[in-house]
Copies of this chain bind each other. A is one copy, B any other.
Amino acid sequence: MALDTSLTRRERERLARREAMLEAAAQVFAERGFDNATLDEIALRAEFGKGTLYNYFSSKDELLLAVIDRMYTQFYTTIEEGFAIERLSSAPFETVLRDFLLACFTYFNDNSHLYMLLMRESHRLFFSGDPEQAAFFMNHHKRVMTLMGGVLRHGIEQGVIRDADTHAMALLILSSLQHFQMELIFTDDTEVSCAPSTFQSPEHVVDALLPLLLHGTAAPPRPSSN
């Protein structure tokens, strides 16, 4: 993160306190859900008084949006670090796509509480009817779609990906990511689940998903060709 450069100690401390509040809020929101989380508990967890939260965030809603924004930022960082777009030119496309999916599954598998928070609250806020909040999520959605679309367009240039509607293809990939992620989380949490043993690790999930995304569910016209 950005260190002392051009920031007074005061400012750095303020940022650190804000960060501690966000971390505590993320925990409590993830455990209880937005509506059942109380500011008292968040303040307690962050070791501040409740009033202090209001020196940093103007409302409970703003705090939630800040938490979610921080999550997306962390996610983008992780993905973009582990998935250099330059590799697209050198490595085979299938490997690149595999790495991308694996990076996503691994990230959310390691942060499953945050994933669950995101699923719960993003749907609630997105359908809340408030256009500002819908736009907030739409922007993040667009950003992920753009990332995905860029990857696909490289595939098309290389002749590996069908030259069709990249929007639909990106949407298909992202939707499968979301649902397979859910099965993954609920399978290894030993919760109620109807998933077979194929879904026990990010690698297994990618192995099951990737061929379907690339070659579809239809039987191949001939059995052997590579």
The answer to whether A183 touches B171 (Cβ under 8 A) is yes
The answer to whether A161 touches B219 (Cβ under 8 A) is yes
Chain B residues, Cβ within 8 Å of A152: 217
Segment of A38-46, A52-60, A173-181 in the binding face: A173-181
Q: From B123, B156, B175, B194, give the contact of A175 (CB < 8 A).
A: B175
The answer to whether B138 touches A217 (Cβ under 8 A) is no
Q: Which residue of B lies closest to A216 (CB)?
A: B216
The answer to whether A180 touches B191 (Cβ under 8 A) is no
- A193-208 to B contact mask, C-beta < 8 Å, 1/0: 1111010000000001
Complex alpha-carbon distance, A163 and B218, angstroms: 9
- Of residues A141, A219, A220, which shows the largest number of chain B Cβ atoms within 10 Å of its Cβ? A219
Chain B residues, Cβ within 8 Å of A219: 156, 159-163
- A132-161 to B contact mask, C-beta < 8 Å, 1/0: 001100100110010000001001100111
Complex alpha-carbon distance, A117 and B120, angstroms: 13
The reply on A165 being an interface residue by CB < 8 A is yes
Q: Which residue of B lies closest to A159 (CB)?
A: B219
Complex alpha-carbon distance, A174 and B31, angstroms: 28
Complex alpha-carbon distance, A62 and B13, angstroms: 47
The reply on A215 being an interface residue by CB < 8 A is yes
The minimal Cβ–Cβ distance linking A177 to chain B, given in whole angstroms, is 8
The minimal Cβ–Cβ distance linking A86 to chain B, given in whole angstroms, is 22
Q: From B120, B141, B194, B212, give the contact of A145 (CB < 8 A).
A: B194
The answer to whether B218 touches A160 (Cβ under 8 A) is yes
Q: Which residue of B lies closest to A156 (CB)?
A: B219
Q: From B165, B194, B212, give the contact of A208 (CB < 8 A).
A: B165
The minimal Cβ–Cβ distance linking A204 to chain B, given in whole angstroms, is 10
The minimal Cβ–Cβ distance linking A159 to chain B, given in whole angstroms, is 6
Complex alpha-carbon distance, A127 and B218, angstroms: 34
Q: From B31, B120, B191, B217, give the contact of A169 (CB < 8 A).
A: B217
What are some 9 contacts across the A-B interface (CB < 8 A)? A33-B128, A120-B124, A138-B193, A167-B198, A168-B198, A168-B212, A169-B217, A172-B176, A175-B175
Q: Which 7 A-B pairs have the closest CB atoms?
A: A175-B179, A216-B216, A215-B216, A214-B218, A168-B208, A175-B175, A123-B123
